[in-house]
């Protein structure tokens, strides 16, 4: 089940998908990219134009069904994956930005663990 965690890109707490959930979400996000690519090929439009059109509805609906949270941007879901983040900072409690981070980007504190893999 998704775990609520602070997302530094969104600057808010969001449901982060577990790996089993991500296995279901990844194909839906890949389809969102394919939708944009098909539109560009069929219309010869720019990437900016194609991205301005609604796309990724399947991924957005799936994210809502999994988490109960509305998301409007399929690309935002790509960084709502629990395994991308490190443990909580011992000082401020926000998650480290990566599992290998040596310090907290939010508050500057060094990672509490002695060994970073």
pLDDT in tens, 26-83: 999 999 999 999 999 999 999 999 999 999 999 999 999 999 999 999 999 999 999 9
Domain residue ranges of the chain, discontinuous segments joined by +: 3-83, 85-117
In the predicted model, what is the mean pLDDT of residues 96-109? 94
pLDDT number for residue 57: 97
pLDDT number for residue 26: 98
Q: What is the dihedral of CA 67, 72, 75, 81, to 10 degrees?
A: -20
User: CA-to-CA distance for 72 and 95, rounded, in angstroms?
Assistant: 23
Using pLDDT thresholds of 50, 70 and 90, give the confidence band for residue 113.
low
In the numeric block, which tokens belong to residue 15?
A: 């449901």
In the numeric block, which tokens belong to residue 108?
A: 């500057």
pTM, to two decimals: 0.86
The model's pLDDT over 22-41, given as tens digits with 9 standing for 90+, comes to 999 999 999 999 999 999 99
Beta-bridge partner residues of 82: none
């Amino acid at each position: 089940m998704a775990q609520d965690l602070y997302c530094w890109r969104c600057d808010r707490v969001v449901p982060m998908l577990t790996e089993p959930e991500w296995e279901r979400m990844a194909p839906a996000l890949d389809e969102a990219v394919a939708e944009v690519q098909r539109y560009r090929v069929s219309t010869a439009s720019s990437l900016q134009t194609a991205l301005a059109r609604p796309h990724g509805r399947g991924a957005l609906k799936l994210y809502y069904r999994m988490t109960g949270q509305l998301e409007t941007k399929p690309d935002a879901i790509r960084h709502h994956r629990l395994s991308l983040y490190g443990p909580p900072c011992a000082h401020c409690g926000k998650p480290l930005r990566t599992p290998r981070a040596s310090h907290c980007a939010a508050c500057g504190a060094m990672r509490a663990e002695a060994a970073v893999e």
